[in-house]
Structure 1
Amino acid sequence: VAAEIKSTKGDMITVVSSKGVEKTIKKDDAQQMNPPKFDKTEDMANLTFLNDASVLTNLRARYFSMMIYMYIGKRRNEMPPHLFAVSDEAYRNMTNDRENQSMLITGESGAGKTENTKKVISYFAI
């Protein structure tokens, strides 16, 4: 729930929601919001504040705007690469052309290379 901090007292804060509801909560239970320029952003790694609330709020806004389905009615080469699209193409090339395929998964530390590699391997196994 989006809210504005009204007052602070020790480790407690009083917030007022956009609907006018006032509530006192622990400071640690509040998470910072991103500026409006990040609303419905495609690449959530660019968010100023990357926290659970920001990611879920962004996904919800994209879902209700039908922006969650990037590849509907578009060719793969018209869109940025997607992990499962690249995996699917490699798998199809292996089965149809009977040729070995390789994937290079790169990124900075903490970017999710290990998790994405697990997803690719799981996709191939299924």
Structure 2
Amino acid sequence: MSVKEAGSSGHRGQAAYHLHIYPQLATSESQAPCQASCRVTATKDSTTSDVIQDAITSLQLDGSKRYVLVEVKETGGEEWVLDANDSPVHRVLLWPRRAQDEHPQEDGYYFLLQERNADGTIKYVHMQLMSQATATRRLVERGLLPRPQADFDDLCNLPELTEENLLKNLKHRFLQQKIYTYAGSILVAVNPFKFLPIYNPKYVKMYENQQLGKLEPHVFALADVTYYAMLRKHVNQCIVISGESGSGKTQSTNFLIHCLTALSQKGYASGVERTILGAGPVLEVLWAKSHLCQEARLSSACAV
């Protein structure tokens, strides 16, 4: 808003601001809303009553009728009738900087002058004519709201956490060959069913001693955080890998072991790594056998 010495509303000597008022009044002849606007000079001490009176004078309206000043913020679909003693200038100073200067209607932050009915209700309600989605899109297009992200590398940051949005985000990332996504400290992996060149020593070095979430989600990031937490706390650490058959659990285990042995041995083809990887299939068979035995015992118990 432009500032100058106040010259109206009895507040001379104070910093003043230009408020643009948009009347939404139905004429008696056509019942069509009047669209002419006016500019009122006000200070921080100017009340809503002062601004309404100046607007009535500027627009040459019928002073015997009852008017209200309405603050419209199309982001969120807000329409707020100001009290008689409210300060419209204070309201404007809370708007985005770009909307403060001239606050045209297309920027989504402005004041409406409306007429009350005899019972105190308002004849014309602006926000009923515009859906919240349309209003938000307009504000984004004009730079008053940030553009929505194409995807989120942490599912906890989704603006609306629903199953549909979650799957849509994972699919969008998968199509860009981003197969890893965080859910807080949990790493979600989508099997690409092909090899991606993101597991070489360069990536091990890239994620070494980095805070989780600082870089793009990766299985090496999880391995690195676990390894350095063990060194720092001197406490055993555990990584749980779960998923459906064919989801890539074995391959994820291999990548984790590869990264852990690289960090500890400072070598990328060590005998320790080959030994652990070689024991993987044996451990999987033992786990599967134990799982089948447990299921068999449960079935026998049910039969009895």
| TM-score bucket of the superposed structures, by smaller chain | 0.3 to 0.5
Greater Rg by CA: 2
TM-score, structure 2 as length reference: 0.19
Q: TM-score, normalised by structure 1?
A: 0.41
